[in-house]
Amino acid sequence: MMEAGLIQAEGVDKIYNRGKPDEIRALTNVSLQIKPGEVVVLKGPSGSGKTSLLSLIGCMARPTSGRVLVRDKDVAKLPERFLTQIRRKTFGFIFQQFNLIRKADVLENIALPLFPCNMTMAETRERAEAILDRFGLSGKRNRKVHRLSGGEQQRVAIARALINNPEVLIADEPTAHLDRKLAEDLAEILSALHRDGKTVIIATHDPFLYDHPFVDRIIVMQDGRIEGVIPS
């Protein structure tokens, strides 16, 4: 066993709609290892398999063949219920489209991951308020999400990803809908998380992000395969 592998992929294939005419081979024989506290960027053009790899790492889907290990547990072999547990406790997700519940207010969106947890309503609220403060959203807690600006929505999405205090933050094209100024803010937030010792995995083809100094490693992807790792 390799030392301190937080996340490991071993010979992972992912095929969508297998055996159907619209079969898509998204990943072929992908192996990688991510250590705790690392900031890793998956870089590649769209369609190169970044999102598929992220969803496998984040336990949102199971590999067609090969193994994905999260803290040495084989994700493919875990029942759905445990997968949900891992997703909830280990990962925080920032999606390309933010994936907020548009008509719900900010507080509710941020507290979303806490609803099915065993904690009191007051605790839930406290935690949500604390994270609202941290992201400067306190004044907008009752605002409906679809009335917020893009940058504010982004911050709500990040706040939601962090509310469970996850070890690993997964971000899929986080700067796709942001202008330069907001992208810088995001980078600032991510590097702060890095300093806190969080593991960050970002899929992007935005040079601003992958050339940023806080990035430890860049994994270059092409056509569902890993082409190279910088620095190797």
Residues forming contacts to other proteins in the complex (CB under 8 A) are 51, 54-55, 60-62, 80-81, 84-85, 87-89, 93, 95-97, 99-101, 103-104, 107-108, 112-121, 124-125, 160, 164, 172
**Given the complex with other proteins, which of 142 and 232 has the nearer CB atom?**
142
**CB 192, min distance to other proteins, A:** 22
By beta-carbon proximity to other proteins, the closer residue of 99 and 222 is: 99
Minimal distance in Å, beta carbon 224 to other proteins? 15
Nearest approach, Cβ of residue 73 and other proteins (Å):
17
CB of 194 to other proteins, least distance (A): 22
Cα within 13 Å of Cα(23), Cβ side? 8
CB 205 within 8 A of CB 199: no
Q: Give least dist CB 118 to other proteins, A.
A: 5
**Phi-psi region for residue 137, left (φ > 0), alpha (ψ -120 to 50) or beta?**
alpha
Residue with tokens 């990962």: 91
Cβ nearer to other proteins, comparing 176 with 230: 176
Least distance from other proteins to the Cβ atom of residue 97, Å: 5
When the beta carbons of 35 and 141 are compared against other proteins, the nearer one is: 141
For the CB of residue 204, give the shortest distance to other proteins in the complex, in Å.
Answer: 14
Q: Give me 81's structure tokens.
A: 């219920």
9 neighbors 53 (Cβ within 8 angstroms): yes
Residue 108 or residue 167: which is nearer to other proteins going by CB? 108
User: Residue 8 or residue 90: which is nearer to other proteins going by CB?
Assistant: 90
Q: Please, which residue, 31 or 46, has the CB nearer to other proteins?
A: 46
